[in-house]
Amino acid sequence: MSTTPPSSADEPAEEKAPRRSIAEIEAELARTREDLSRTVDELAVRIDPRTQAKEAVARTKEAAAETVALVQDVAEEKAVAARELATEFADDVKAGQPRALAILAGAAAAVAGVVVAAVLAGRRR
């Protein structure tokens, strides 16, 4: 077994790094500094409280707009369904359906009860 290091002739040519000039190294360092400077500037903007607050406000506005649109869609669907139900109920009342007439009579009695209670409460004052 030999204790001498392998000679440069034994090393594959691929592992040898090409020799760079001082100007090439300085140019690479300048590019690296510019990249680092841009990265630091971007990070400074990202962690700035004003920037974070603006982004939070924008996200909140977007979420609120989506919620409003969803609520409007649901309300419109429910209004259409209620209109259809009321039309069906009115048709049933016109046709003399006993169930529809009973519901109508019950609703009328409830309204009359509320009116009587309001009148009596007004007299007590």
12: confidence class by pLDDT, cuts 50, 70, 90: low
What is the value of pTM for the model shown? Answer: 0.45
Give pLDDT, residue 122.
84
> Are 32 and 39 in contact, with CB atoms under 8 Å apart?
no
Contact (Cβ atoms closer than 8 angstroms) between residue 68 and residue 76: no
Q: How far apart, in whole angstroms, are the C-alpha atoms of residue 94 and residue 104?
A: 11
Compute CA distances 22 → 11, 25, 92, whole Å. Answer: 25, 5, 96
Q: What would the pLDDT profile of 16-52 be if each residue is shown by its tens digit?
A: 778 999 999 999 999 999 999 999 998 988 888 898 8
